[in-house]
Amino acid sequence: MQLFSLQGRVAMVTGCNKGLGQGIALALAEAGADIVGVSRQPADDTRQQVEALGKRFYSVEAELGHHSPTEIVNQAIAHAGKLDILINNAGMIRRAPALEFSEDDWDSVIDVNLKAAFFLAQQLTKHCIERKAPGKIVNIASLLSFQGGIRVASYTASKSGILGLTRLMANEWAAQDINVNAIAPGYMATDNTQALRDDPQRHDEILARIPAGRWGSPEDLAGAVIFLCSDAARYVHGQTLAVDGGWLAR
């Protein structure tokens, strides 16, 4: 259906060399978008899969939190000619009891998960406004945008911040035809949850609470991200869509 087509659009996806980011990049490519992948390491596997779908893949190697968001966006535009979509997916997590949590672990997570996401969104929006073109921003939030969690102070703060910034950016940029929304994945089988899945007690506790009865996979985000990046979501602004197997409804 044309309403969900991303043909002719260019999507920048951060952290797309594996996991959720790779799944998102492939979903957008299947819907017709060319992809700019921003990763610390070459995303060769993602490139091969995107190109197998007949779409272009442009690589920007950068470490969020260290490289300038302006420089990253400028490189992306130089490669692809334009940007229409930004997926703020890249993220990191540090685990420790709150009484022992270090300042370094706080700063490193906030810089990547929150600060970099905001300034990449800012640069994408400036680019779209200059082109007088619509834009789509999808931030990857978390169940911990809604809940406190344990032993992940900076991650919880960053993902709660993403929910708030999604609303703030929507308030300011909706009138410029920029849609800003977020997706809150549930417990997904990725590197970020490896420690939880390796802990038999935590694994079983988590699985018992998921109404769908299973951990999620990157492919489970495909429909939500295509919807939010497509014309079907033109009047959707400032929302955070949980894709969580029913976790928050429990």
Q: Decide if pLDDT at 213 tops 90.
A: yes
Average pLDDT, the chain: 96
DSSP secondary structure string for all residues of 82-145: ---EEEE---------GGG--HHHHHHHHIIIIIHHHHHHHHHHHHHHHHT--EEEEEE--GGG
Candidates 223, 133, 139, 140; CA nearest to 178 is: 133
Give the global pTM: 0.96
Residue 1: band (very low, low, confident or very high) from pLDDT cuts 50, 70, 90: low
What mean pLDDT is predicted for residues 138-143? 98
In the CATH scheme, what is the homologous superfamily, with its name and number, of domain 2-249?
NAD(P)-binding Rossmann-like Domain (3.40.50.720)
The pLDDT of residue 93: 94
The pLDDT of residue 190: 86
Q: For residue range 216-241, what is the model confidence (pLDDT) as tens digits?
A: 999 999 999 999 999 999 999 999 99
Q: Decide if pLDDT at 171 tops 80.
A: yes
The pLDDT of residue 195: 84
Cα–Cα distance measured from residue 58 to residue 20, given in angstroms and rounded to the nearest whole number: 18
Task: Indicate the angle between helix axes 153-173 and 103-110, nearest 10 degrees.
Answer: 30
What mean pLDDT is predicted for residues 36-65? 96
Residues with catalytic function: 155
Q: For residue range 95-137, what is the model confidence (pLDDT) as tens digits?
A: 999 999 999 999 999 999 999 999 999 999 999 999 999 999 9
Domain boundaries, the chain: 2-249
DSSP secondary-structure letter at 206? H
